[in-house]
Amino acid sequence: MSRTRIKICGITRREDLLAAVAAGADAFGLVFYPPSPRFVTLAAAARLSREVSPFVSCVGLFVNADPAVVRETLAAVPLDLLQFHGDEDAVYCEQFGKPYIKAARVRPGLDLVEFARAFTSARGILLDAYVEGYGGAGQTFDWSLIPRNLPLPVVLSGGLTPANVRDAVTGLRPAAVDVSSGVEAAKGIKDAGKIAAFVAAVNEADIQLNA
Ligand SMILES: O=C(O)c1ccccc1N[C@@H]1O[C@H](COP(=O)(O)O)[C@@H](O)[C@H]1O
């Protein structure tokens, strides 16, 4: 049975991390983008990263960060995967020698196949809505803009919620889904019930796809 992987992004509190892991999330995201309401300090991130079992991935999210900042973060926090959510190019993304995913901010006119071909070294292409502030806005985009022939595994994000993720998974069959706003009580504060409902909806979609 194939399974859609689940990342809960923008974790700032221990209890939210534990709720995500208890619900069955595969990964959690720490935001190292200072303007974000979900920004975490290195000390907080290091503390959170020590809370989880070895088979839950810790993802570090950066937006156009100075490479020195990414290196400093890697030295302090055991990140399994880097998520570049700004205007970084492949040379930038590859310099850290770590697995990474690259976000594309989807809007009409963006050639996603060409975009993905520029990041062949990435583990996947993360598709998010084009919004001011780069992401985490809880905004969906027109899923019909996603070509079927993308050369990289797709991580679907942007405005996913417990209510729409089942249709997203059954309709688009992404390798993974990533959510922040849709499982929050307030910005940076997760809701354990919404996390559980989100994970359950993805699992139901997987059961439907594998039936
Ligand atoms: O979470 C943030 O604050 C954030 C800031 C800057 C860039 C990306 C950010 N989060 C990512 O945005 C997408 C969509 O999130 P949402 O579910 O629509 O709120 C997701 O990949 C987050 O990892």
Q: What is the pLDDT of residue 151?
A: 96
- Is 5-210 in CATH node 3.90.550.10? no
Nearest protein CA to atom 4 of ligand 1, as residue: 136
Does 93 participate in catalysis according to the annotation? no
Q: What is the pLDDT of residue 52?
A: 87
Taking the centre of ligand 1 as the mean of its atom positions, its distance from the CA of residue 83, in whole angstroms, is 10
Q: What is the pLDDT of residue 2?
A: 85
Taking the centre of ligand 1 as the mean of its atom positions, its distance from the CA of residue 114, in whole angstroms, is 23
**Set 26, 128, 178, 206: catalytic member:** 128
Nearest protein CA to atom 13 of ligand 1, as residue: 136
Task: Tell me what ipTM this predicted complex has.
Answer: 0.98
- Residue 201 CA, chain-centre distance (Å), reads 17
pTM score, whole prediction:
0.97
Listed as ranges, residues in the chain with pLDDT below 50 are none
Backbone angles phi, psi at 24, to 5 degrees: 110, 20
Does 128 participate in catalysis according to the annotation? yes
| Residue-range domain boundaries for the chain | 5-210
